[in-house]
Structure 1
Amino acid sequence: MNTLLTAVIWLTVLSVSFSILLDESRPEDATLSFTELGMKYGHSVEEHDVVTEDGYILTLFHIHGETKGPVLVMHGIFDSADTFIIRGNLSLIITLANKGYDVWSGNTRGNKYGRRHKHLDPDAGPKFWDFSFHEAGYYDLAALVDFILEFTGEQSIRTIGHSQGTTIHFILLSTRPEYNEKIKGFIALAPVAFLSNLIPPLSTLTKAWPAINKFLKATGTEELLRDHSAANDLIESLCSQGLIGYEVCYVLLSSTAFGFDPERIEPHFWEVILGHFPTSTSRRTLIHFAQIAVSKRFTQYDYGSVINFRKYKSLTPPNYNLEKVTINISLIASGNDNLSRLKDVDILRTMLPKELKYHVMEPMLWNHVDFTWAKDMDIYLYPYILSSLQEF
C-alpha cells in the first residue's frame, strides 16, 4: 500500500510540474475554447444549452450563416466540438462558415461540454455515467437536431459526423426512424458501426477489455480521462515535450490506433491537439465498443442475459436495424484507418438499404484522425464534403 501511495504522489508531483512548464510554452490555440477559437478566426459564436429527454445538458455551438442552410457537425470518441475548429482557418467549421453555411457543432454527454445534468452530479457517484454511445444517439443527437430545427424554422438539416459521430447517427436513424425525415443528408467521415476486422493492438485490446473493465469497476472508475485530472494532465504534459513527445506519443503510440501517418500532423500542431484531446467519456462507452468488436455485430448494449431479457425480451441484445436508415448518405473512408477498416465499412454498405455515395481517400497514408486534423484537408477531403452538401 505504501509503495502504491508513493507512486501516486510522485505521479501527481510530476503531473503538476510538467503542467507548470507546459502552461508557459504551449501554443495559444491549445488553451482557447471553441468560442474563443471562433472569434480568433473571424466569427462570433453563440452557445446554446440543449437539454435531452433524460436530463443531460449539452453545449451546442452556432456560427450564424444565411445563404446555404444549417449543417450540424458531430465529433468522435474522447473528443468534443473543438476537434472541428482547432485547425483555425483550415478547420471544417471555419471553412463551412466562410462559405455561408449556418454551422452548428454539437457535443455528446460526458465530454467537457456535456458534464451537466438537471439532477445528477458527475462527481457524486456512478449514475451520471450510466450511458454508452447508444444514449448519445438516441437522446443527444435527437435533442440537438430538434433544437436546430426549432431555432431555424427549417424542416430538415444536413449533418456531418466523424467516427463515433457516425455511430450515433446510425443508432438514431435506426431506433427512431422519424428522424430520417429531419436529416436530409448525412456525411459519414471514417464511419464506425461494425468492428469485425480490427487488427492488433486494437483487436487485442478489445479481447482484453473484460479484465481491464473489471479493474476499472473495482476502483470505482466510471469517467475516463476527465479534463484536468491527474491522468489527463500527465498525458498532455509528457506528450507535449517537443519533438520527443511528438515522436513517442503520436508517431509511435497513437499511430497504432489511428493508422500510421507522420506527414499530416506537425509537431507544433500536435501540441494544439493535446490542449483539446482527449476529453472524458464513460467506462460503459468503451464496453459497448468492445462488445461490438467481439460479437461482430452492430448491436445494442449487452447487460447480461437477465437484464437483456427484461429490457429487450431477448437473452441477447438486438442488432440495430440499418434497413430503417433511409436518408441520403455519403461515406468517406480510408484504407489506412485502423479503426474504421474498409472491410467493416463494406459490411455497413451492404446493410444500408439506400444507394449511397462512397469515396475512399486517395492519399495512401490518410488515417482516422486526418479527417479532422490533417494539414491538407482542403485539398483531399473538403471537395467531397462540399459536393455532398450541395447534392443533399
Structure 2
Amino acid sequence: MWTSLSLWLTVTIITTKQIGYMSTEDFPEDGELDSIGLATKYGHPPIQYNVITEDEYILAVYRLPGKGNGTPILFTHGLMDSTDTFLMRGNTSLPITLANKGYDVWLANTRGNRYTRSHRHLDPDTDPAFWNFTFHEMGYYDLPAIIDLVLNETGAKNLTAIGHSQGNTVYYVLGSERPEYNSKVNVLIALAPMAYVHNTPPPVSTIAKLTPIITKLAKDLNIYELLGDTTVLGQISHKLCSVPVIGYTLCGYGLLYPSVGSDPTELEPEFFQNLAPHYPGGSSVVSLLHYLQVGYRKTFAQYDHGSETNQKIYNSSEPPVYQLDRVTMPIALFAAANDRFSSVADVEILRKQLPNVVYYLLNPRLICNHVDYVWGRTASNYLYPHINIMLNRYNPL
C-alpha cells in the first residue's frame, strides 16, 4: 500500500509541475458550474436559503420546487461532498428526475464544505474552532435546523429523506440524540448506509489501524480543514484529477476505486473531468478521523477526544455509544456487494441494530460501488426503480 501511495504522490508532483495551475476556464462546462448553475442548466432554477444552526454555522440549502403536492424530499450528501454531487449527472441525476416528476426537492449542505464555510463569529481561515466538528454536530445541529426550515417553508408535517453515505450517518445521530425528530422523517432512503466501519477492506482498514498516529500528526501539524477549495491539496486534486487520461488514471484507478470499489463503466473518463472540479468539496479533518475511530475502536460512538477530555465533555473516560434503538424513523437500506467503504457486512450490523428497517436491497448490479448511487451513468436503470417503490409507498404525489 505504502509503495503504491508513494508512487502516486511522486507521479502527482511531477504531473502537477508539468501541467501548472489550470484556471477554472480549463474545466469542462459542468465542471465550472456550482449547484445553482447545474440545477438551472437542467431546468430547475433553485431557491437558496441560508439557515443558521443553533451553534451559529451558516448552511446553504437549495429548493427545486415541484408542481405536485407530495411530501418534500430532502437530500443529504456524503463526507467531503456537497450538493453538487446530486446534480452532476444532469438530466438523469436523481433530484432533477424527481423534480421533473413534480416532487418538491430540497438539497442540503452540511457544515464545512464549499457552500457552508461560514459562521456568524468564527473565521474558517483563522479560527481552528470552526473545524471542531464531525458527523455528530451535523446530525445534532445541522439536520434539525434544515428539517425545521423545510417543514416551516412547506407547511408539511414530515419529509422524505434521501441520504448518501455520511448523509445517512447524520440521521442515525439525529434519531439517537434528538429522538423528537424521528416523527419528522416519514422515511429515510439510505444509499450506501454508513455507521459501522468494522469490515472495510484495505486501504481503508489499513488507514483505520493508524488512527492514533494520524490524529497526532494532524494535531502536531495544525491541520484542520480537509481538502477544501482553498487548501493546497484541494486545489491540486481539482486541477490534477481533471486532466484527461492522466487525472482519471491517478485519481480514479489510483485513489477512488481502491477505496469505494471499482466500476469504470459507470464512471467514465469524460464524466470524471466534470466530477473532479466538484469533489472533494471540503470538510474538517476530525470528520474523517471520527469514521476512522469507529473502525479502530469497533464501536459506533461519539468522537473520542482522549480520556481526560472525554471526562470533561461526556463525564466519562469513554465516548457515549449511539443508541440506535432510539432511531425509530422508517429506514430503507440500500447496500452493494462491491461497496468497499460501506461493506455489506457492516450494513448487516446496522440493520440488526435499527428497530424500523422497512426495506433492504442488496443491489442486483454486482459491481455497484459506493459512489454509483450518485454518480453512476446508468443508475436510473438499477437504482431508481427501487427508490420509486419507497416513494410510492411513503410519498405518493
User: Is TM-score (shorter-chain normalized) higher than 0.5?
Assistant: yes
Partner of 1:192: 194
Partner of 1:247: 249
Q: TM-score, normalised by structure 2?
A: 0.93
The answer (yes or no) to whether the contact 2:242–2:274 under 8 Å persists in 1 is: no
CA distance in 2, matches of 1:163, 1:96: 20
Partner of 1:261: 263
Partner of 1:182: 184
Partner of 2:64: 63
Partner of 2:6: none
Q: 1:326 aligns with which of 314, 325, 328?
A: 328
The answer (yes or no) to whether the contact 1:15–1:230 under 8 Å persists in 2 is: no
How far is 1:16 from its partner?
10
Aligned AA (1:354): N
CA distance in 2, matches of 1:183, 1:125: 34
How far is 1:15 from its partner?
6.6
Over the matched positions of the two proteins, sequence identity in percent amounts to 44
CA distance in 2, matches of 1:251, 1:201: 13
Partner of 1:7: none
Report Cα offsets for 1:267-310 as digits up to 9, x if no partner: 01001111100011111112211111111111111122222223
CA distance in 2, matches of 1:358, 1:248: 35
Name the SS of the counterpart of 1:227 in structure 2.
coil
> Where do 5+ consecutive residues of structure 1 fail to align?
1-9
- Shift in alpha-carbon separation, 1:229–1:302, aligned structure 2, 3 A: closer
CA distance in 1, matches of 2:135, 2:13: 31
How far is 1:146 from its partner?
0.6
The answer (yes or no) to whether the contact 1:174–1:323 under 8 Å persists in 2 is: yes
Q: Equivalent residues in 2 for 1:147-226 (5 A)? A: 147-226=149-228
Name the SS of the counterpart of 2:333 in structure 1.
strand
Q: TM-score, normalised by structure 1?
A: 0.94
CA distance in 1, matches of 2:18, 2:184: 47
The answer (yes or no) to whether the contact 1:12–1:230 under 8 Å persists in 2 is: no
CA distance in 1, matches of 2:103, 2:67: 7
- Shift in alpha-carbon separation, 1:131–1:360, aligned structure 2, 3 A: same
State which drifts further: 76-85 or 350-359.
Answer: 350-359
Name the SS of the counterpart of 1:181 in structure 2.
helix
CA distance in 1, matches of 2:306, 2:251: 36
Name the SS of the counterpart of 1:117 in structure 2.
coil
CA distance in 1, matches of 2:248, 2:106: 31
Count of aligned positions? 383
Q: Equivalent residues in 2 for 1:346-365 (5 A)? A: 346-365=348-367
CA distance in 2, matches of 1:309, 1:214: 19
CA distance in 1, matches of 2:186, 2:210: 40
CA distance in 1, matches of 2:357, 2:210: 37
Name the SS of the counterpart of 1:50 in structure 2.
strand
Name the SS of the counterpart of 1:37 in structure 2.
helix
> Where do 5+ consecutive residues of structure 2 fail to align?
1-11
CA distance in 1, matches of 2:96, 2:295: 35
Aligned AA (1:307): T
CA distance in 2, matches of 1:82, 1:25: 19
CA distance in 1, matches of 2:17, 2:180: 48
Q: 1:270 aligns with which of 264, 272, 280?
A: 272
The answer (yes or no) to whether the contact 2:64–2:105 under 8 Å persists in 1 is: yes
- Shift in alpha-carbon separation, 1:51–1:12, aligned structure 2, 3 A: farther
Partner of 1:29: 30
